[in-house]
Amino acid sequence: MAVAFLLYVFAEIAAIWAVGSAVGVLGTLGLLLAGAFLGSWLARREGGKAMRAFTSAARSGRPAEKELTDGMLVGLGGVLILVPGFISDVLGLLLILPPSRAVARRWWLKRMEKRAVRFANRRRGPAMVVDSEVVSPEEPRRDPPTVIEGRIIEG
């Protein structure tokens, strides 16, 4: 994990250096600030849409994994946009824009489904399927009540 982080930092520095060589220092700072402002505006707009969709799904009583995952991806995209650097800005924009977010959502939900099955099998062993059927209860009997004659003896 540390190696991946170091590679990411090296790639960000190389991208900033390349853009800085092409447009200059002020141009690079301007692009970074413009990306942050544009990205935060997009993240706020798409996050609001995701929240409204989640609320609508919750009120209608249907599963909201799509809406919840969209909100999570928009939030992650917003964080990536606020991290200084061009690579993180591009990744953040890809997570915020709806067409590429749909691809990321499908990948994420498929990954989480596999992890959930693996976790469940690890916790309780292999899954067991029981075949059954639903039977409606029988109607109550209409027999007359049983009467027992006798005496009560106290004492």
Q: Locate 155 and state its tokens.
A: 């004492």
* pLDDT, tens digit, 9 for 90 and up, residues 39-68: 889 889 988 998 999 999 889 988 888 888
Question: pTM of whole model > 0.95?
Answer: no
Comparing C-alpha atoms, which of 39, 32, 30, 34 is closest to residue 13? Answer: 32
Comparing C-alpha atoms, which of 39, 105, 99 is closest to residue 71? Answer: 105
- Say what the pLDDT of residue 82 is: 86
Output phi, psi for 100, to 5 deg: -75, -25
Burial label for 105, CB within 10 Å (0-12, 13-18, 19+), is buried
* pLDDT, tens digit, 9 for 90 and up, residues 2-28: 899 999 999 999 999 999 999 999 999
Higher pLDDT, 116 or 88: 88
Alpha helix (H) residue ranges in the chain: 2-60, 65-82, 86-96, 98-124
pLDDT at 123 over 70: no
- Say what the pLDDT of residue 140 is: 64
Spell out a b/e string for 37-50, using b for 16 or more CB atoms within 10 Å of the CB, else e. Answer: eebeebbeebbeeb
Query: Could you give the percent of the chain with pLDDT greater than 70?
Result: 86
Rounded to the nearest integer, the mean pLDDT of the chain is 85
